[in-house]
Amino acid sequence: MTEYSKEEKILMVIQFLAIYSITSIVSNAVYSIATTLFILATLVWYWKEKHDRIIWPDRLFWAMYLPFFILIIFASILVGYKDSVMKALDFTSWSVIPFALFYFGLQKRFFDKAIIIGIIAGVWTLGSVALYQYAVLPDNTRIQSYLSHPNYLAEMLELSIPFLIIYALVAKSQIKLRLVSLLSALMACFILALTACRGGIIGLIVGAIFYLFVRLVYAGQLDKKKILAIMGVVILISCFVVGIFHSEFTGNKGAVRSYDHERILLWESSYRMWSDHKLTGVGLKHWQEEYLAHYISPDAKEPQLIYPHNIYMFFFSESGSLGGIGMLFFTVGVFLYLCKLMKKNPNNIFLNALLWSFLAIMLHGQVDAGITSKFVMRLYSTYLGIGLASVAYHRLQTDNHNLTAPERKDDSYENI
Protein backbone atom coordinates (compact mmCIF):
# COMPACT_ATOMS: atom_id res chain seq x y z
CA MET A 1 0.00 0.00 0.00
CA THR A 2 1.35 3.41 -0.99
CA GLU A 3 2.23 5.74 1.87
CA TYR A 4 1.47 9.44 1.40
CA SER A 5 2.86 12.39 3.29
CA LYS A 6 0.59 14.86 5.07
CA GLU A 7 1.12 17.40 2.27
CA GLU A 8 0.19 14.83 -0.37
CA LYS A 9 -3.01 13.91 1.46
CA ILE A 10 -4.00 17.58 1.64
CA LEU A 11 -3.27 17.94 -2.08
CA MET A 12 -5.39 14.86 -2.79
CA VAL A 13 -8.38 16.43 -1.04
CA ILE A 14 -7.89 19.70 -2.91
CA GLN A 15 -7.66 17.90 -6.26
CA PHE A 16 -10.85 16.03 -5.43
CA LEU A 17 -12.70 19.23 -4.48
CA ALA A 18 -11.56 21.08 -7.61
CA ILE A 19 -12.70 18.29 -9.93
CA TYR A 20 -15.94 17.75 -8.01
CA SER A 21 -16.81 21.44 -8.28
CA ILE A 22 -16.56 21.28 -12.07
CA THR A 23 -18.21 17.90 -12.66
CA SER A 24 -21.13 18.69 -10.36
CA ILE A 25 -21.47 22.45 -11.11
CA VAL A 26 -23.30 22.53 -7.78
CA SER A 27 -22.58 26.26 -7.29
CA ASN A 28 -20.29 29.02 -8.47
CA ALA A 29 -19.14 29.58 -4.87
CA VAL A 30 -17.95 25.98 -4.52
CA TYR A 31 -16.17 26.24 -7.88
CA SER A 32 -14.44 29.51 -6.93
CA ILE A 33 -13.31 28.26 -3.53
CA ALA A 34 -12.15 24.86 -4.76
CA THR A 35 -10.21 26.18 -7.76
CA THR A 36 -8.63 28.95 -5.66
CA LEU A 37 -7.40 26.33 -3.19
CA PHE A 38 -6.11 24.25 -6.08
CA ILE A 39 -4.23 27.22 -7.55
CA LEU A 40 -2.64 28.05 -4.19
CA ALA A 41 -1.69 24.41 -3.57
CA THR A 42 -0.18 24.16 -7.04
CA LEU A 43 1.86 27.33 -6.57
CA VAL A 44 3.16 26.06 -3.24
CA TRP A 45 4.09 22.72 -4.77
CA TYR A 46 5.89 24.38 -7.67
CA TRP A 47 7.75 26.62 -5.24
CA LYS A 48 8.88 23.61 -3.20
CA GLU A 49 10.07 21.80 -6.32
CA LYS A 50 11.29 24.83 -8.23
CA HIS A 51 14.19 22.97 -9.80
CA ASP A 52 11.94 20.42 -11.48
CA ARG A 53 11.18 20.87 -15.14
CA ILE A 54 7.75 21.49 -16.65
CA ILE A 55 6.37 19.54 -19.60
CA TRP A 56 4.70 21.81 -22.16
CA PRO A 57 2.35 20.58 -24.88
CA ASP A 58 4.24 20.48 -28.16
CA ARG A 59 3.88 22.91 -31.02
CA LEU A 60 1.23 20.89 -32.86
CA PHE A 61 -1.15 21.37 -29.93
CA TRP A 62 -0.54 25.11 -29.57
CA ALA A 63 -0.77 25.62 -33.35
CA MET A 64 -4.27 24.14 -33.38
CA TYR A 65 -5.56 25.16 -29.93
CA LEU A 66 -4.72 28.83 -29.32
CA PRO A 67 -5.43 30.25 -32.83
CA PHE A 68 -9.11 29.32 -32.45
CA PHE A 69 -9.57 31.65 -29.48
CA ILE A 70 -7.42 34.39 -31.01
CA LEU A 71 -9.52 34.30 -34.19
CA ILE A 72 -12.91 34.53 -32.47
CA ILE A 73 -11.65 37.44 -30.34
CA PHE A 74 -10.28 39.15 -33.47
CA ALA A 75 -13.56 38.58 -35.36
CA SER A 76 -15.51 40.01 -32.44
CA ILE A 77 -13.33 43.12 -32.37
CA LEU A 78 -13.80 43.61 -36.12
CA VAL A 79 -17.58 43.22 -35.94
CA GLY A 80 -17.65 46.11 -33.48
CA TYR A 81 -20.00 44.88 -30.74
CA LYS A 82 -18.76 45.20 -27.17
CA ASP A 83 -20.93 42.30 -25.97
CA SER A 84 -19.45 40.11 -28.74
CA VAL A 85 -15.94 40.88 -27.56
CA MET A 86 -16.91 40.12 -23.97
CA LYS A 87 -18.54 36.85 -25.07
CA ALA A 88 -15.37 35.86 -26.94
CA LEU A 89 -13.26 36.62 -23.88
CA ASP A 90 -15.65 34.69 -21.64
CA PHE A 91 -15.60 31.69 -23.99
CA THR A 92 -11.81 31.77 -24.05
CA SER A 93 -11.69 31.85 -20.26
CA TRP A 94 -14.02 28.83 -20.03
CA SER A 95 -11.42 26.84 -21.92
CA VAL A 96 -7.93 28.21 -21.39
CA ILE A 97 -8.18 28.72 -17.62
CA PRO A 98 -9.42 25.23 -16.61
CA PHE A 99 -7.14 23.57 -19.15
CA ALA A 100 -4.05 25.40 -17.89
CA LEU A 101 -5.09 24.96 -14.27
CA PHE A 102 -5.37 21.17 -14.45
CA TYR A 103 -2.62 20.58 -17.00
CA PHE A 104 0.05 22.39 -15.00
CA GLY A 105 -1.52 21.63 -11.61
CA LEU A 106 -1.63 17.85 -12.03
CA GLN A 107 1.58 17.07 -13.85
CA LYS A 108 3.61 17.33 -10.62
CA ARG A 109 1.31 15.15 -8.50
CA PHE A 110 -1.31 13.12 -10.36
CA PHE A 111 -3.53 11.29 -7.86
CA ASP A 112 -5.73 9.17 -10.09
CA LYS A 113 -7.97 7.97 -7.25
CA ALA A 114 -8.70 11.54 -6.10
CA ILE A 115 -9.54 12.45 -9.69
CA ILE A 116 -11.87 9.53 -10.36
CA ILE A 117 -13.59 9.95 -6.98
CA GLY A 118 -14.14 13.62 -7.84
CA ILE A 119 -15.80 12.57 -11.09
CA ILE A 120 -17.90 9.93 -9.31
CA ALA A 121 -19.05 12.39 -6.65
CA GLY A 122 -19.93 15.01 -9.28
CA VAL A 123 -21.94 12.54 -11.34
CA TRP A 124 -23.85 11.35 -8.27
CA THR A 125 -24.62 14.93 -7.25
CA LEU A 126 -26.15 15.56 -10.66
CA GLY A 127 -27.73 12.12 -10.66
CA SER A 128 -29.38 12.24 -7.24
CA VAL A 129 -31.56 15.19 -8.22
CA ALA A 130 -32.28 13.58 -11.59
CA LEU A 131 -33.36 10.32 -9.95
CA TYR A 132 -35.64 12.24 -7.59
CA GLN A 133 -37.23 14.01 -10.56
CA TYR A 134 -37.74 10.67 -12.28
CA ALA A 135 -39.54 9.34 -9.20
CA VAL A 136 -41.92 12.28 -8.71
CA LEU A 137 -42.51 13.81 -12.14
CA PRO A 138 -45.14 12.51 -14.59
CA ASP A 139 -44.27 9.84 -17.14
CA ASN A 140 -42.78 11.01 -20.43
CA THR A 141 -41.02 13.96 -18.71
CA ARG A 142 -37.49 14.73 -19.80
CA ILE A 143 -35.16 14.83 -16.80
CA GLN A 144 -32.74 17.76 -16.38
CA SER A 145 -31.57 17.62 -12.72
CA TYR A 146 -30.82 21.17 -11.53
CA LEU A 147 -29.62 22.30 -14.97
CA SER A 148 -31.63 24.59 -17.24
CA HIS A 149 -32.29 22.00 -19.97
CA PRO A 150 -32.14 18.20 -20.36
CA ASN A 151 -29.64 18.52 -23.21
CA TYR A 152 -27.14 20.28 -20.92
CA LEU A 153 -27.39 17.42 -18.44
CA ALA A 154 -26.80 14.93 -21.27
CA GLU A 155 -23.68 16.81 -22.38
CA MET A 156 -22.24 16.86 -18.85
CA LEU A 157 -22.87 13.13 -18.44
CA GLU A 158 -21.51 12.03 -21.81
CA LEU A 159 -18.23 13.78 -21.01
CA SER A 160 -17.84 11.93 -17.69
CA ILE A 161 -19.15 8.47 -18.57
CA PRO A 162 -16.05 7.43 -20.60
CA PHE A 163 -13.77 8.13 -17.64
CA LEU A 164 -15.94 6.03 -15.33
CA ILE A 165 -16.26 3.10 -17.73
CA ILE A 166 -12.62 2.86 -18.78
CA TYR A 167 -11.39 3.26 -15.22
CA ALA A 168 -13.79 0.58 -14.00
CA LEU A 169 -12.74 -1.89 -16.69
CA VAL A 170 -8.97 -1.57 -16.88
CA ALA A 171 -7.56 0.18 -13.81
CA LYS A 172 -5.57 -1.87 -11.31
CA SER A 173 -6.94 0.01 -8.33
CA GLN A 174 -8.90 -1.59 -5.50
CA ILE A 175 -11.83 -3.59 -6.80
CA LYS A 176 -14.24 -1.60 -4.62
CA LEU A 177 -13.38 1.69 -6.34
CA ARG A 178 -13.69 0.07 -9.74
CA LEU A 179 -17.12 -1.31 -8.86
CA VAL A 180 -18.26 2.08 -7.60
CA SER A 181 -17.00 3.62 -10.84
CA LEU A 182 -18.91 1.05 -12.90
CA LEU A 183 -22.13 1.53 -10.90
CA SER A 184 -21.76 5.29 -11.29
CA ALA A 185 -21.36 4.86 -15.04
CA LEU A 186 -24.51 2.72 -15.21
CA MET A 187 -26.45 5.29 -13.19
CA ALA A 188 -25.18 8.06 -15.47
CA CYS A 189 -26.17 6.08 -18.55
CA PHE A 190 -29.65 5.52 -17.09
CA ILE A 191 -30.05 9.27 -16.53
CA LEU A 192 -28.65 10.03 -19.98
CA ALA A 193 -31.52 7.96 -21.39
CA LEU A 194 -33.98 9.84 -19.17
CA THR A 195 -32.87 13.17 -20.66
CA ALA A 196 -34.29 11.88 -23.97
CA CYS A 197 -31.40 13.71 -25.63
CA ARG A 198 -30.89 11.83 -28.86
CA GLY A 199 -27.72 13.73 -29.71
CA GLY A 200 -26.18 12.82 -26.36
CA ILE A 201 -27.07 9.13 -26.72
CA ILE A 202 -25.79 8.94 -30.29
CA GLY A 203 -22.66 10.95 -29.41
CA LEU A 204 -21.72 8.57 -26.60
CA ILE A 205 -22.33 5.41 -28.64
CA VAL A 206 -20.86 6.52 -31.97
CA GLY A 207 -18.01 8.22 -30.12
CA ALA A 208 -17.23 4.87 -28.49
CA ILE A 209 -17.13 3.19 -31.90
CA PHE A 210 -14.74 5.81 -33.30
CA TYR A 211 -12.63 5.64 -30.13
CA LEU A 212 -12.26 1.86 -30.44
CA PHE A 213 -11.32 2.23 -34.11
CA VAL A 214 -8.62 4.79 -33.28
CA ARG A 215 -7.48 2.64 -30.39
CA LEU A 216 -7.07 -0.38 -32.65
CA VAL A 217 -5.30 1.62 -35.36
CA TYR A 218 -2.88 3.60 -33.19
CA ALA A 219 -2.11 1.26 -30.30
CA GLY A 220 0.93 -0.93 -30.82
CA GLN A 221 0.51 -3.66 -28.23
CA LEU A 222 -3.02 -4.69 -27.33
CA ASP A 223 -4.47 -6.69 -24.52
CA LYS A 224 -7.17 -8.39 -26.57
CA LYS A 225 -9.17 -9.42 -23.51
CA LYS A 226 -9.46 -5.85 -22.28
CA ILE A 227 -10.29 -4.48 -25.73
CA LEU A 228 -13.02 -7.13 -26.06
CA ALA A 229 -14.24 -6.24 -22.57
CA ILE A 230 -14.55 -2.56 -23.53
CA MET A 231 -16.31 -3.47 -26.78
CA GLY A 232 -18.69 -5.76 -24.92
CA VAL A 233 -19.52 -3.13 -22.32
CA VAL A 234 -20.07 -0.51 -25.03
CA ILE A 235 -22.55 -2.82 -26.78
CA LEU A 236 -24.36 -3.64 -23.54
CA ILE A 237 -24.55 -0.01 -22.45
CA SER A 238 -25.75 1.02 -25.91
CA CYS A 239 -28.58 -1.48 -25.71
CA PHE A 240 -29.32 -0.41 -22.13
CA VAL A 241 -29.50 3.33 -22.91
CA VAL A 242 -31.46 2.93 -26.13
CA GLY A 243 -33.83 0.47 -24.47
CA ILE A 244 -34.57 2.81 -21.56
CA PHE A 245 -35.09 5.72 -23.95
CA HIS A 246 -37.57 3.81 -26.12
CA SER A 247 -39.47 2.43 -23.13
CA GLU A 248 -39.77 5.76 -21.29
CA PHE A 249 -40.51 8.24 -24.08
CA THR A 250 -43.17 8.33 -26.74
CA GLY A 251 -44.74 10.83 -29.10
CA ASN A 252 -42.90 14.13 -29.53
CA LYS A 253 -40.25 13.08 -27.01
CA GLY A 254 -39.46 9.78 -28.67
CA ALA A 255 -37.01 8.88 -31.40
CA VAL A 256 -38.88 10.81 -34.12
CA ARG A 257 -40.27 14.27 -33.37
CA SER A 258 -42.39 16.76 -35.25
CA TYR A 259 -39.78 19.50 -35.12
CA ASP A 260 -36.86 17.44 -36.47
CA HIS A 261 -36.87 19.37 -39.76
CA GLU A 262 -36.30 22.57 -37.76
CA ARG A 263 -32.57 21.77 -37.51
CA ILE A 264 -32.27 21.88 -41.30
CA LEU A 265 -34.03 25.25 -41.41
CA LEU A 266 -31.69 26.60 -38.72
CA TRP A 267 -28.64 25.46 -40.66
CA GLU A 268 -29.96 27.00 -43.89
CA SER A 269 -30.61 30.28 -42.09
CA SER A 270 -27.14 30.17 -40.52
CA TYR A 271 -25.56 29.55 -43.90
CA ARG A 272 -27.31 32.60 -45.35
CA MET A 273 -26.23 34.58 -42.29
CA TRP A 274 -22.61 33.61 -42.95
CA SER A 275 -22.97 34.33 -46.68
CA ASP A 276 -23.91 37.93 -45.87
CA HIS A 277 -21.14 38.36 -43.26
CA LYS A 278 -18.39 36.06 -44.48
CA LEU A 279 -15.38 37.50 -42.65
CA THR A 280 -16.62 38.30 -39.15
CA GLY A 281 -20.15 36.89 -38.92
CA VAL A 282 -22.99 38.75 -37.21
CA GLY A 283 -21.23 38.82 -33.85
CA LEU A 284 -21.31 36.51 -30.86
CA LYS A 285 -24.60 36.85 -28.93
CA HIS A 286 -26.30 38.36 -32.00
CA TRP A 287 -27.45 35.19 -33.77
CA GLN A 288 -31.04 35.22 -32.47
CA GLU A 289 -31.44 38.95 -33.14
CA GLU A 290 -30.33 38.56 -36.77
CA TYR A 291 -32.24 35.31 -37.18
CA LEU A 292 -35.56 36.83 -36.16
CA ALA A 293 -34.98 40.07 -38.07
CA HIS A 294 -33.70 38.75 -41.40
CA TYR A 295 -33.13 35.01 -41.68
CA ILE A 296 -35.94 33.02 -40.08
CA SER A 297 -37.68 30.62 -42.48
CA PRO A 298 -41.42 31.01 -43.06
CA ASP A 299 -41.69 27.30 -42.18
CA ALA A 300 -39.95 27.67 -38.81
CA LYS A 301 -41.98 26.43 -35.83
CA GLU A 302 -39.58 27.42 -33.01
CA PRO A 303 -38.74 31.13 -33.33
CA GLN A 304 -37.54 31.22 -29.72
CA LEU A 305 -34.37 29.23 -30.49
CA ILE A 306 -31.20 31.18 -29.69
CA TYR A 307 -28.51 29.19 -31.53
CA PRO A 308 -28.29 27.08 -34.72
CA HIS A 309 -27.83 23.68 -33.01
CA ASN A 310 -24.52 22.97 -34.72
CA ILE A 311 -21.16 24.12 -33.37
CA TYR A 312 -19.69 24.82 -36.80
CA MET A 313 -22.75 26.77 -37.96
CA PHE A 314 -22.57 28.62 -34.65
CA PHE A 315 -19.04 29.90 -35.20
CA PHE A 316 -19.31 30.50 -38.96
CA SER A 317 -22.53 32.53 -38.56
CA GLU A 318 -21.51 34.44 -35.41
CA SER A 319 -17.75 34.91 -35.96
CA GLY A 320 -17.50 34.42 -39.71
CA SER A 321 -14.82 32.57 -41.61
CA LEU A 322 -12.29 33.65 -39.00
CA GLY A 323 -14.04 31.85 -36.16
CA GLY A 324 -15.38 29.01 -38.30
CA ILE A 325 -12.00 28.08 -39.73
CA GLY A 326 -10.55 28.45 -36.24
CA MET A 327 -13.13 25.94 -34.99
CA LEU A 328 -12.20 23.50 -37.75
CA PHE A 329 -8.52 23.80 -36.82
CA PHE A 330 -9.42 23.33 -33.16
CA THR A 331 -11.44 20.17 -33.81
CA VAL A 332 -9.10 18.54 -36.30
CA GLY A 333 -5.98 19.68 -34.44
CA VAL A 334 -7.03 18.37 -31.03
CA PHE A 335 -8.15 15.08 -32.60
CA LEU A 336 -4.85 14.59 -34.43
CA TYR A 337 -2.91 15.56 -31.33
CA LEU A 338 -4.80 13.04 -29.20
CA CYS A 339 -4.20 10.36 -31.85
CA LYS A 340 -0.50 11.20 -31.79
CA LEU A 341 -0.42 10.87 -28.01
CA MET A 342 -2.43 7.65 -28.19
CA LYS A 343 0.18 6.12 -30.47
CA LYS A 344 2.92 6.94 -27.95
CA ASN A 345 0.86 6.28 -24.80
CA PRO A 346 -1.63 3.49 -25.56
CA ASN A 347 -1.75 2.39 -21.91
CA ASN A 348 -2.82 5.70 -20.39
CA ILE A 349 -6.33 5.34 -18.95
CA PHE A 350 -7.11 9.06 -18.78
CA LEU A 351 -5.89 9.69 -22.32
CA ASN A 352 -8.10 6.88 -23.64
CA ALA A 353 -11.10 8.28 -21.75
CA LEU A 354 -10.34 11.81 -22.99
CA LEU A 355 -10.38 10.70 -26.62
CA TRP A 356 -13.78 9.03 -26.19
CA SER A 357 -15.17 12.10 -24.39
CA PHE A 358 -13.84 14.42 -27.09
CA LEU A 359 -15.45 12.37 -29.86
CA ALA A 360 -18.75 12.12 -27.96
CA ILE A 361 -19.16 15.85 -27.33
CA MET A 362 -18.02 16.84 -30.83
CA LEU A 363 -20.48 14.43 -32.43
CA HIS A 364 -23.26 15.68 -30.18
CA GLY A 365 -22.30 19.24 -31.14
CA GLN A 366 -23.38 18.57 -34.72
CA VAL A 367 -27.01 18.81 -33.57
CA ASP A 368 -26.81 20.84 -30.36
CA ALA A 369 -24.90 23.51 -28.41
CA GLY A 370 -21.94 21.27 -27.58
CA ILE A 371 -18.90 23.14 -26.31
CA THR A 372 -20.54 26.53 -26.85
CA SER A 373 -22.22 26.01 -23.46
CA LYS A 374 -20.24 27.45 -20.53
CA PHE A 375 -20.34 24.48 -18.17
CA VAL A 376 -19.81 21.96 -20.97
CA MET A 377 -16.76 23.79 -22.34
CA ARG A 378 -15.35 24.17 -18.84
CA LEU A 379 -15.75 20.46 -18.10
CA TYR A 380 -14.35 19.43 -21.49
CA SER A 381 -11.32 21.69 -20.97
CA THR A 382 -10.84 20.26 -17.49
CA TYR A 383 -10.75 16.76 -18.91
CA LEU A 384 -8.39 17.92 -21.66
CA GLY A 385 -6.06 19.25 -18.97
CA ILE A 386 -6.35 16.04 -16.94
CA GLY A 387 -5.69 13.78 -19.93
CA LEU A 388 -2.62 15.69 -21.12
CA ALA A 389 -1.36 16.13 -17.54
CA SER A 390 -1.44 12.36 -17.05
CA VAL A 391 0.99 12.02 -19.96
CA ALA A 392 3.21 14.85 -18.70
CA TYR A 393 3.21 13.42 -15.17
CA HIS A 394 4.47 10.07 -16.37
CA ARG A 395 7.16 11.70 -18.48
CA LEU A 396 8.37 13.48 -15.37
CA GLN A 397 8.54 10.13 -13.55
CA THR A 398 10.66 8.39 -16.15
CA ASP A 399 13.31 9.20 -18.73
CA ASN A 400 11.55 6.91 -21.20
CA HIS A 401 9.33 9.11 -23.38
CA ASN A 402 7.56 6.05 -24.81
CA LEU A 403 6.04 5.45 -21.37
CA THR A 404 7.14 1.86 -20.92
CA ALA A 405 8.33 2.26 -17.35
CA PRO A 406 7.30 -0.29 -14.73
CA GLU A 407 3.87 0.07 -13.18
CA ARG A 408 3.48 2.63 -10.38
CA LYS A 409 0.85 2.23 -7.69
CA ASP A 410 -0.17 5.89 -7.66
CA ASP A 411 -0.74 6.69 -11.31
CA SER A 412 -2.97 5.75 -14.21
CA TYR A 413 -0.75 3.79 -16.52
CA GLU A 414 -2.39 0.43 -16.70
CA ASN A 415 -2.31 -1.89 -19.71
CA ILE A 416 -5.43 -1.59 -21.83
Model pTM score:
0.93
Question: What is Dmax (Cα atoms) for the chain?
Answer: 68
Contact between 103 and 65 (Cβ < 8 Å): no
**For the chain, domain boundaries:** 55-93+120-375
**Residue 402 confidence (pLDDT):** 39
Residue 115, φ and ψ in degrees, nearest 5: -70, -50
> SS3 sequence, 220-281?
CCCCHHHHHHHHHHHHHHHHHHHHHHHHHCCHHHCCCCCCCCHHHHHHHHHHHHHHHCCCCC
Residue 50, φ and ψ in degrees, nearest 5: -65, -15
d(CA 106, CA 112): 10
**Residue 260 confidence (pLDDT):** 79
Three-state DSSP at 299 gives coil
**Residue 173 confidence (pLDDT):** 75
**Residue 408 confidence (pLDDT):** 43
Task: Locate all alpha helices (DSSP H) within 345-411, ordered by sequence.
Answer: 349-364, 374-397
State the number of CA atoms in the 13 A half-sphere of 215 facing the CB: 27
**Residue 60 confidence (pLDDT):** 81
First and final C-alpha spacing in the chain: 23
Per-residue pLDDT of the chain (416 residues; tens, 9 = 90+): 578 889 999 999 999 999 999 999 999 999 999 999 999 999 998 888 765 678 988 888 888 899 999 999 999 999 999 999 999 999 999 999 999 999 999 998 999 999 999 999 999 999 999 999 999 999 999 999 999 999 999 999 999 999 999 999 988 878 999 999 999 999 999 999 999 999 999 999 999 999 998 888 876 555 677 777 888 888 998 999 999 998 999 877 888 777 778 889 999 999 999 999 999 999 999 999 999 999 999 988 888 889 999 999 999 999 999 999 999 999 999 999 999 999 888 889 999 999 999 999 999 999 999 999 999 999 999 999 999 999 999 888 874 343 333 334 444 445 56
* CA 68 to the chain's CA centroid: 17
